[in-house]
Amino acid sequence: MDIKIAICDDINEMCVCIENKVDGILKNKSIGYEIDIFNSGEELCRKLDEIRYDLIFLDIEFPKMDGIEIGKYIRKIKKDNITQIVYVSGRKEYAMELFQVRPIDFIVKPLEDKQLERAIDIYIDIMGGMKNFFEYRKSYSHKKVELYKIMYFIRDNRKVTVVTSEEKDTFYESLEKVYERVKQYGFLFIHKSYLINYRYIETIRYDSVTMTDGTEFSISQSRRKEIRKRYMEIMSSQI
């Protein structure tokens, strides 16, 4: 399956430059792709009403709607936590603002091939996790769901509810055992009853988190320091 890529920069020559470099990198890796170019955030956002891109290379400085606003539109308005964003900018001072958007990389202009290849390699690594499934038994059936779609797990005695971006289901298993199976994919065990996917965190506070669907969970007092540390490690590795 081809990777659907969008490149958005108000300078068309920069879009073409990124396109040519990405073209060479992906051909060298024998990966199929489709690329669309946009010269404004408004144009990209209109297209996002029709299509979801797998990977977006996004400038930050635009005359009107800037790249951070576009990222927030993708995450908060479109509720899209699957599309991966790589910011491209001539300035370095945006790191903290970007936490809300959760980009996988930040490239500083002028562009270098190794920077773009690094971003693509990060995307490929993430997609490796996205292609994995969480499998569980329910009654006499065997079920599986794509890991990247799972928002969180909730324990109620011996029963576990798995909530995805599309539906929810219940099964019987220890939440500790579930955590052992998913922790390498960015899941945080914030409470003895809550196991969450960091990609769907809308807001994190010292003692609680709010997910992109509006659900709020408390963080166990004994886990707060470690959860904060782990979350910052994950987010820092993405920028």
* Conformational region of residue 81, where left means phi above 0, alpha means psi within -120 to 50, and beta covers everything else: alpha
Q: Is the pTM of this model over 0.85?
A: no
Task: List the chain residues with pLDDT less than 50.
Answer: none
Residue with tokens 């669309």: 36
Handedness of CA 145, 151, 156, 158 (dihedral sign): positive
Query: What is the 3 state secondary structure string of 159-198?
Result: EEEEEECCCEEEEECCHHHHHHHHHHHCEEEEECCEEEEH
Buried b (16+ CB within 10 A) or exposed e, 167-182: eeeebebebeebeeeb
Per-residue pLDDT at 238? 56
Q: What is the pLDDT of residue 140?
A: 83
Q: What are phi and psi of 101, to 5 degrees?
A: -90, -25
**Cα 91 vs. chain centroid, distance in angstroms?**
23
146-188 pLDDT, tens digit each: 888 899 999 999 999 999 988 999 999 999 999 999 998 889 9
pLDDT of residue 186: 86
Integer angstrom CA distances of residue 177 from 22, 116, 180 = 40, 37, 5
Residue 152 and residue 194 in contact, taking contact as beta carbons nearer than 8 Å: yes
